Amino acid sequence: MLTEFYNNAYSYKFKSLSDRDIGTSKSIPVLPRITEYGRVKIGDEIFGSTSATRYKRSAKILAKFILDDGSIDVYPGIIQFYFEHVVQLPEGSKKHVLAFVRWFKPVDNHKIRYHCQIDDIYNIELWNQDFYNISRDCIIPVHNILG
């Protein structure tokens, strides 16, 4: 998943060490070494995760995604853990501070999901307690966290 994340974030080609042709290609290897954290401080706010017992309440987040058409969508999720990863780019090493998030699924019925709608304003949006499957989208930069 981390290799997929970097392939989407950069114009370089990345490969994991488990790929057989890593030595013969001009791809950048993604090393499987991370530093994991239970919480992270952004500004004056501490964001927790499910792996930090003391900060589990602050593990629920809203994060923004920019869609292919340029629109911005906000999703709720729960952070499993934070981690740092260093990748060796041609211009030098670059450290990334990332979060591994499980994303809640929206309520299927549109009328229930936006039950508290007034005109075109949605004050409350309802989501399921079920999660999307684990995928590359579970890894996000911490700067995508809205709150």
Residues 47-103 have pLDDT tens digits of 889 888 777 777 899 998 888 899 988 889 999 999 999 999 999 999 999 999 999
SS3 content of the chain, % helix, strand, coil (to 5): 15, 45, 35
Q: Which pLDDT score is estimated for 139?
A: 97
- pLDDT at residue 41 is higher than 70: yes
Mean predicted confidence (pLDDT) in 97-115 = 83
More confident residue, 75 or 118: 75
Pull the structure tokens for residue 21: 């042709």
The CATH code that applies to domain 2-144 is 2.30.30
pLDDT class of 121 with cuts at 50, 70, 90: low
Q: Which pLDDT score is estimated for 114?
A: 65
Q: Which pLDDT score is estimated for 54?
A: 76
How many residues comprise the chain? Answer: 147
**Is residue 125 classed as helix, strand or coil in its secondary structure?**
coil
User: Are the C-beta atoms of 135 and 1 separated by less than 8 Å?
Assistant: yes
pTM for the whole thing? 0.84
More confident residue, 99 or 42: 99
Please give the Cα distance from 105 to 129 (Å, whole number): 7
Pull the structure tokens for residue 40: 């992270």
Percent of the chain with pLDDT over 70: 87
Q: Phi/psi of residue 111, each to 5°?
A: -70, -35
Q: Which pLDDT score is estimated for 25?
A: 66
Residue partners of 35: CB distance under 8 A and separation at least 6: 83, 84, 85
- pLDDT at residue 22 is higher than 60: no
Pull the structure tokens for residue 47: 């964001």
